[in-house]
Amino acid sequence: MIPLLRKALALLALALAAPSISVSHSSEVSSASTNKTIVVLGDSLAAGYGLEPEQAFPVLLQKKIDAAGWKVFVVINAGQSGDTTAGGLRRLNWLLRRKIDVMIVELGGNDGLRGISLDETRKNLEAIVRRTKDKYPGVRVALAGMQMPPNLGDEYVRPFKALYPEVAKKTGATLIPFLLENVGGHPELNQADQIHPTAEGQQIVAENVWRVLQPILRELAQ
């Protein structure tokens, strides 16, 4: 993803902003009483750091949903730059005040780059999934896998990568194998910081998520 850990830490150790919540929908969206809500709980990758809001992958997902004719689904972008799994867990109760049908959890990259223990990251991700399911038993949760740059060392990189399928299996979440597949490590698809995807990179990220999300929505739309 990036060659220097120091550069990653400097860029990602941003002060947490106020929760950023945006709703993506077309003018033809159904009434609120019949909508099904998809929440993307994430960090700067979901927030579309460095880009226009409409270029972030949650907004692109809404466009894919609308193109499929599933106007009943509304995507809420709860991406917050600099967020960690602990931060996501802290603001989860606020998000759960609204009925959620699908939760996409995109967190953990900042945990890894800040050296937060794997046990802490695992505990927080499991708590996010379980608390969401406890609140809304019928909710579908998708967990976006993340990976660390190889310069962090194999003793950390390998278990970090394995953490996501382990959490997904334990909690019953659906795994998105690697959010940045075909984007991470490709300079032309990332901004100058080599951390955050360009608009083109975000399109690929959206497609990575869509491959997993589409079958879930097809089932819920029936």
Catalytic residues: 44, 193, 196
- Locate the DSSP E strands across 69-122: 73-79, 102-106
Under 8 Å between Cβ of 89 and 127: yes
Q: How far apart are CA 113 and CA 108, in angstroms?
A: 9
Q: Residue 183 has which token pair?
A: 């984007």
Which DSSP helix (H) or strand (E) runs through 200?
helix 199-221
How crowded is residue 87: how many other Cβ atoms within 10 Å of its Cβ? Answer: 19
* Residues 6+ positions from 66 with CB-CB distance below 8 Å: 26, 28
